[in-house]
Amino acid sequence: MCSRPTPSPRWRWAGTGAIWSTSRRAGLLANGDELRVLAVDGIDGLEKLQAGWMELIGSAGIENPFLTPDWMRAWDGSLRPERTRPLVLAVLDGDRLAGVAPLCATEPRFLGARRLGFATESETGADYLDVVCLPGREDAVAAALYDHMFGGSEVRWHALTLRAFNPESLFLHHFVTRLERAGKSFSLRGGAICPFTVIPEPLADATELLRPARRKRQRWELRALGREGRVQHNAHAAGESGFPAAFEIFSGLYVARWGQERRSLLACVAAAAGVLGTEIDLLYLDQQPIAGLLHFRCGTRAYLYLMAVDRSAYPKLSVGNLLVAASIARVSKGGVREYHFLRGDEPYKFLWANRFPRCLELEIRGRHPVIWLEQFLAAGSSALKAALR
């Protein structure tokens, strides 16, 4: 399970040292109380945010490992690009945290544009990203961040691109409303599709989620694999004695399938495994691993993050689907009600999924020669494609 925040005392900000910058404008709550925005520039400041951030996640009932400070810290240590650094915007109501925007800033090489986006999204493929808000304060947090971004704050930016936005985000609704009222130029469009399945309760057999023809095929493939030898399914959760060995086996399968360049992604997962509810399912045939998957289990949700299948073994059988069935059946017994396959349109996801949301992309372009050039080239490319049709 994702680590849950423990009750923490009221906490205060220890001054405004080098890592802090305060907004020059603030939003107002409905009762007139002022909200302040502080920019935490760099990974070192996360320690001061950790307790309040996790308490905020607990208050909001968020079941998403990609919105935790632990995931951002793991990304920073393994996958963060050279010219990109964390930039967390913390919204304060007095001395309590009311909102957190987990962003990153990418610096230009020479005279390019400074870009802001969601931290971890591009490098880790994280989905359902959002600005974490105290329930009932989404509008006030949106107002404070809007004023901070457009009111001459010390956070400089030329382009804001927020991909993989949670389509159910109340913050996004209020923020876009303010953009529209102010007449700002922006684009809001559909992004990657993120299939998932809502697991019925009770679930006797995971193949119940499949269409009849596919269910019949699935059961035939399981029998066919069983005729080749002894089929065994094992699962290990982070913190258990068998997890390190299972992680090594899975890593071997994953690197063999996807290449050595994926080791940095495995290092990112390993760095946060103990606090993100990481679990590994392995499928063996005669004690030889032939498939593995890694998911994050967070409350009533599981997120299938990585999967690898030995394609040289039984290429005519959907070994990966056999493992997915075993994994869904196992976690459903532990209270998981949603099994998320995350972004991508791989065919196997549509066999199991019964919900097909699409994350959103919000883009705001500022005034900068590079931005104008990009817009000009994009418009020219669109016009050329239209002319060639």
Question: What is the chain's length?
Answer: 389
Is residue 164 predicted with pLDDT exceeding 70?
yes
pLDDT of 176 reads 97
The confidence score (pLDDT) of residue 387 equals 76
pLDDT in tens, 11-62: 333 332 223 334 434 444 444 458 999 999 888 888 889 999 999 999 999 9
Q: Which domains does the chain have, with CATH numbers?
A: 20-192+358-388 (3.40.630), 196-352 (3.40.630.30)
- Tokens 């020219």 locate to 380
pLDDT digits (tens, 9 = 90+) for 299-358: 999 999 999 999 888 889 999 999 999 999 999 999 999 999 999 999 999 999 999 999
Cα distance between residue 162 and residue 118, in whole Å = 6
Assessment of whether the complete model's pTM goes beyond 0.75: yes
Residue matched to tokens 């962003």? 103
Q: Among 120-129, 198-207, 370-379, whose mean pLDDT is lowest?
A: 370-379
Instruction: Express each pLDDT in 102-161 by its tens digit.
Output: 999 988 776 667 889 999 998 899 999 999 999 999 999 999 999 999 886 667 788 899
Mean pLDDT, to the nearest integer, of 62-66?
97
The whole-number pLDDT of residue 268 equals 96
Tokens of residue 355, six digits: 């919900």
Mean pLDDT taken over the chain: 88
Contacts of 380 (CB under 8 A, 6+ apart): none
3-state secondary structure of 29: coil
pLDDT score recorded for residue 7? 36
pLDDT of residue 109: 72
Buried b (16+ CB within 10 A) or exposed e, 73-108: bbbbebbbeeebbbbbbbbbbeeebbbbbbbbbbee
Are 161 and 116 within 8 A, CB to CB?
Answer: yes
pLDDT of residue 383: 72
50 and 104 Cβ atoms separated by less than 8 Å: no
Residue 95 has a pLDDT of: 86
Q: Residue 153: what pLDDT? A: 65
Return the biggest CA–CA distance within the chain: 71
Spatial separation of the C-alpha atoms in residues 309 and 40, rounded to whole Å: 41
- pLDDT for res 27: 47
Cβ atoms of 2 and 275 closer than 8 Å: yes
Question: Buried b / exposed e across 308-335, counting CB within 10 Å, b at 16+?
Answer: bbbeeebeebbbbbbbbbbbbbbbbeee
pLDDT range class, residue 181, cuts 50, 70, 90: very high
What is the per-residue pLDDT across 235-268, written as a single tens digit (0 to 9) for each?
Answer: 999 999 999 999 999 999 999 999 999 999 999 9
- More confident call, 377 vs 221: 221
